Amino acid sequence: MSELTEFEEMYLKRIFESHAEDPSEIVRTTKLADLMEVSAASTTEMIQKLALRDYVTYIPYKGCRLTSEGFKHASRIKRREELLKILLSDVIRYEGDVDSVACKIEHSIDMDLEASIDRMLGYPERNKEGKMIPSVDRSMILSSSNTLLPLSALPEDTPSIIEIIYSSGVAIKTLEKTGIKIGSNIIKKFDKFYCDGNEIVFSREFSFKVIVRVE
List, in sequence order, every residue forming a beta bridge with 199; answer none if it has no partner: 194
CATH number of the domain bearing residue 37: 1.10.10.10
Question: What are the CA-CA distances from residue 191 to residues 6, 89, 215 (Å)?
Answer: 39, 23, 19
Any domain includes 46: yes
**What are the pLDDT digits (tens) for 195-213?**
888 888 877 777 777 888 8
Any domain includes 186: yes
Any domain includes 180: yes
Any domain includes 92: no
Any domain includes 121: no
**What are the pLDDT digits (tens) for 122-163?**
788 888 888 889 887 555 444 455 677 788 778 888 889 888
Residue 110 neighbours by CB distance under 10 Å? 8
- Kindly report the pTM of this predicted structure: 0.68
Handedness of CA 119, 123, 126, 129 (dihedral sign): negative
Give the per-residue pLDDT at 138. 53
CATH number of the domain bearing residue 199: 2.30.30.90
Domain that holds residue 188: 148-214
Per-residue confidence band for 80, with pLDDT thresholds at 50, 70 and 90 = very high
For residue 167, give every residue at least 6 positions away whose Cβ sits within 8 Å of its Cβ, in sequence order, or none. Answer: 175, 206, 209
**What are the pLDDT digits (tens) for 21-67?**
777 789 999 999 999 999 999 999 999 999 999 999 999 999 999 99
Mean pLDDT of the chain: 86
Give the per-residue pLDDT at 99. 94
pLDDT (mean) for 64-84: 93
User: Among the three residues 40, 66, 92, which one is the final residue of a domain in this structure?
Assistant: 66
Count of domains in the chain?
2
Any domain includes 38: yes
How many angstroms separate the CA atoms of 121 and 90, rounded?
9
User: Among the three residues 50, 66, 82, which one is the final residue of a domain in this structure?
Assistant: 66
Any domain includes 101: no
Any domain includes 79: no
